[in-house]
Amino acid sequence: MYKNFLTGAVCASAMVAGTAQAQDAPYDIYLSMSYIGNDWQAEASNMVKALATSSDYADKVNLQVQVAGPNAQRQIQQINAMVQAGADAIVVYPISPTALNNVVKSACDRGVVVIAYDGEITEPCAYNVTINQAEAGRKTAEWLVEKLGGEGDIIAVTGVPGTSVDTARTTAAMEVFDQHEGINVIGEAVGMWSQAVARTELNKLMATRNWSDIDGLWMQVGCYTANAMQIEAGIAPEDVLPCAGEGSNGGRIQMLPAGTEVEGASSPYIPMGAPRISYAAPPYSGAMALKLAVDILDGKEVEKLTELPLPLVTNETVTLCETGSWEEQKAGCNAFQPGMVSNPGWFASIFAEDLPQLGLNAALVGQPEN
């Protein structure tokens, strides 16, 4: 009864319930996510599921996904429950880089491979898959400074205060801005890594200002929204301010030269040649963590820290994909048709050299390439 109901419920993800205790393949691998209420997390989870069901991994991996929400206490409990349930490896999106240390240590002591993606776990026995967050902050800030010729008033919209990712990115960016006399950060707001929050915060920031008072924007998430707001305020697309920010597909489409033919576009989700640099913590990092977990269980040598290449896209390098297959992305495309990706906030940095199983459909609906 139970199993029928549950398998029905999760058929899309094709998870296999079972209590196999195999030390050899198939490995029991558990995924502990933090929160599933945003696009990034949903894509990451889709890509992990897609990899687990791809023909290369379907026979090797029994994947089970659980969500801890925003509560670190729950994730601690969850990881321990996974160890008790006989996990061979645990892939985790850590809610806190430090709070999990003790439970991760005890999991390692019991021979379980623990591998974190996107966020880091500082416990030495854990494996980490992440980008260099400080570099992300620095590179985007340097681009903005260069774009403005070292002179101008800018607005900064940060992420979730108190997280290590936000602190690393913001500190690095502010260092760059401080080095340039001509750059003034005239407003700073908390964007919580959400397009919706970015809009309310920008509205507050702009309540006592005009768009003409500022020369550029540095945002962790929200350039798409900032461009949309400028269009609404009657600014011509060619006069939109330079914005250093996130890798949302909406933002990438806006970067394409005005007049580019795309399917299913409607303003402001249209090509407008917006001056941008687009970076992202890539949502494939979860799938990469799963691949590395299998590698470790297979006995391969894996570094404790896997630093993913920072996906940086500028107006010079942005290219539209026709189908979004892995092959096509390998050839260099990095923005998807609005007709296929209807949500502009959806993160477009999904290409991984080492994961030919994952194309656009993996991130959209959890369906692998093969």
The widest CA-to-CA distance across the chain, in whole angstroms, is 68
Among 27, 52, 61, 78, binds another protein (CB under 8 A): 78
Among 41, 53, 230, 337, binds another protein (CB under 8 A): 41
Element (H or E) spanning 29, and its range? strand 27-33
Q: Is the dihedral of CA 114, 115, 121, 127 positive or negative?
A: positive
Restricting to residues 11-30, name those near another protein by CB under 8 A. Answer: 12-13, 15, 17, 19, 21, 30
Closest to another protein by CB, 39 or 118: 39
Report residue 369 as tokens: 């390439």
Question: What is the C-alpha separation between 67 and 336, in angstroms, rounded?
Answer: 29
Report residue 217 as tokens: 């924007």
Restricting to residues 173-212, name those near another protein by CB under 8 A. Answer: 185-190, 192, 194-197, 199-201, 203-210
Residue with tokens 């005009």: 210
The count of C-alpha atoms lying within 13 angstroms of the C-alpha of 186, restricted to the half-sphere facing its C-beta, is 18
Question: What is the C-alpha separation between 313 and 351, in angstroms, rounded?
Answer: 12
Question: What is the C-alpha separation between 121 and 97, in angstroms, rounded?
Answer: 4
Smallest distance from the beta carbon of 312 to another protein, in angstroms? 24
Report residue 231 as tokens: 């269009």
Among 22, 23, 55, 71, binds another protein (CB under 8 A): 71
Question: What is the C-alpha separation between 21 and 52, in angstroms, rounded?
Answer: 18
111 belongs to the binding site for another protein (CB under 8 A): no
4 belongs to the binding site for another protein (CB under 8 A): no
Among 96, 314, 319, 325, binds another protein (CB under 8 A): 96
Report residue 26 as tokens: 């198939």
349 belongs to the binding site for another protein (CB under 8 A): no
**Integer CA distances (angstroms), 121 to 34, 45, 95, 152, in order:** 14, 19, 9, 38
360 belongs to the binding site for another protein (CB under 8 A): no
Smallest distance from the beta carbon of 321 to another protein, in angstroms? 18
Ramachandran area for residue 259 (φ above 0: left; ψ -120 to 50: alpha; else beta): left
Smallest distance from the beta carbon of 333 to another protein, in angstroms? 21
Among 25, 80, 296, 315, binds another protein (CB under 8 A): 80
Closest to another protein by CB, 60 or 199: 199
Restricting to residues 285-304, name those near another protein by CB under 8 A. Answer: none
Q: What number of chain residues touch another protein (CB under 8 A)?
A: 96
Smallest distance from the beta carbon of 317 to another protein, in angstroms? 25
Restricting to residues 320-339, name those near another protein by CB under 8 A. Answer: none
Please identify, among the stretches 2-10, 51-59, 239-247, 303-311, the one whose residues bind another protein according to the rule CB under 8 A.
2-10
Smallest distance from the beta carbon of 263 to another protein, in angstroms? 14
Restricting to residues 224-283, name those near another protein by CB under 8 A. Answer: 225, 228-229, 232, 266, 268-269
Task: Give the three-state DSSP class for 5.
Answer: helix
Q: Give the x-and-dash track for 213-232 against another protein (CB under 8 A).
A: ------------x--xx--x
* Distance in angstroms between the alpha carbons of the first and the last residue of the chain: 32
Q: What is the dihedral of CA 25, 28, 33, 36, to 10 degrees?
A: 90
Restricting to residues 131-170, name those near another protein by CB under 8 A. Answer: 158, 160-164, 166-168
Among 344, 351, 355, 357, binds another protein (CB under 8 A): 344
Q: What is the dihedral of CA 354, 341, 368, 37, to 10 degrees?
A: 90
